[in-house]
Amino acid sequence: MRFARAARLAICLLITSGPVHAACGTPDRACELPGGSYHAALPATPGGAPVVLFLHGHGSSGRNAISLARMVSPLTARGYAVLAPDALPRDPDGDGPRSWNFYPGMTGRDEARFFEDLLSDAATRFGIDPARVLLAGFSAGGFMVNYLACATPQSFAAYAPVAGGFWRPHPETCTGPVRLFHTHGWRDETVPLEGRRLGSFHQGDIFAGLEVWRAANTCPDQKPTGFGETGPFLRRAWQGCAAESALELALFPGGHTVPDGWADMVADWFEALN
C-alpha cells in the first residue's frame, strides 16, 4: 500500500494531544535526531500541512536549502511545510562535504530510514501531514530522490528531482508505478542532460532514465502525449500509463540551479494528483 508508513505516523498523531512546537528547525537551529538533523520552514497553520521534503546538493546543507527564498516562500505561502535534512559527510572522520548515500553498494546511513524518522519527528513536533509528502531534491539530492523512487515508490506521495538522475550503469528496472516530475536546465554543465564522467563514476543520461521510468509505469509508448509551457519551462508528459502513476519532464533555459517558478509549478502538479 502506497502510504502504509504514512498511515502509521498518522495514528501516532491521533493519540497525541496536539502538535508540540519545539524551538528548532529554523535556519539557525536544526532539529536533532539520533541519525541526523533537519531544518524546517512552516506555513501559518502547520497542523495538517502537506510537506515538501527537500534534499540539498553535494557540499551544501539543510540550512542553505531552507534559506532559498525563491523555493521556500512560495511553498509556505501555499500552506506547505518545507523540511530540509542535512546529509552526512562522506569522510570517515566526519569532515569534508556532505552528500547523500544513494549510489548502489555504498555503505553509510540508511537514508530511507532516516527520512522516515524525520517525518515521524516532524509529525509529532509540528503536526504536519505525513500522508502528503513530496520528496524533492537538487543535484546530489535529485540523484537520491531518483534512487529512492526506483526502490520504494510507495514511500512518498510523489517525487520531484531537480538536476539529478541516475549514475551509469542505469538501473535495469525500477519498482513501479511512480509519480515523478523531473526538472532540468538546458544549459546545465554540472549534471548535463547526457551525463558526464567524474573520475571512476559516470553520471547517467537523463533521457535514458526516463526510459526506465516509462517501463516502471508501463507506459504504452515512448513518445510523450502531453505538452505544455509554464513560464520558461517546456513540459512534456507521458499519459495513459499505469494507474497511480505520473511522469513529466520540464526543461528550462538556465543551468545548474533550482529555477525561479519551480516551486509553484511542482506544487500545481502535485495538487493535481490528489
Burial 36-65 (b: 16+ CB within 10 A, else e): bbbbbbbbeebeebbbbbbbbbbebbbbeb
In the three-class reduction of DSSP (H, G, I as helix; E, B as strand; rest coil), residue 125 is classed as helix
Which of 182, 185, 154 minimizes the C-alpha distance to 253? 185
Q: In whole angstroms, what is the distance from residue 5 CA to residue 180 CA?
A: 19
Question: Which tens digit of pLDDT belongs to each residue from 213-254?
Answer: 999 999 999 999 999 999 999 999 999 999 999 999 999 999
3-state secondary structure of 134: strand
CA distance 37 to 109: 13
pLDDT in tens, 9-42: 443 433 333 333 347 877 789 999 999 999 999 9
β partners of residue 161: 137
pLDDT score for 93: 66
Whether the model pTM is above 0.85 = yes
- Domain 4-273, second-level architecture: 3-Layer(aba) Sandwich (3.40)
Cβ atoms of 131 and 7 closer than 8 Å: yes
Give the count of beta carbons closer than 10 Å to the beta carbon of residue 203.
20
3-state helix, strand and coil shares in percent for the chain, rounded to the nearest 5: 30, 25, 45
Quote the CA–CA distance of 151 and 173 in Å, as a whole number.
9
181 or 3: which leads in pLDDT: 181
Give yes or no for residue 136 having a pLDDT over 90: yes
Q: Looking up cell 523555493, which residue turns up?
A: 71
DSSP notation for 198-237:
ETTEEBPPHHHHHHHHHHHTT-S-SS-SEEEEETTEEEEE
For CA atoms 189, 148, 59, 121, give the dihedral sign.
positive
Euclidean distance between CA atoms 85 and 61, whole angstroms: 8
User: pLDDT (tens digit, 9 = 90+) per residue, 44-98?
Assistant: 999 999 999 999 999 999 999 999 999 999 999 999 999 999 999 977 666 778 9
The rounded percent of the chain whose pLDDT value lies above 70 is 91
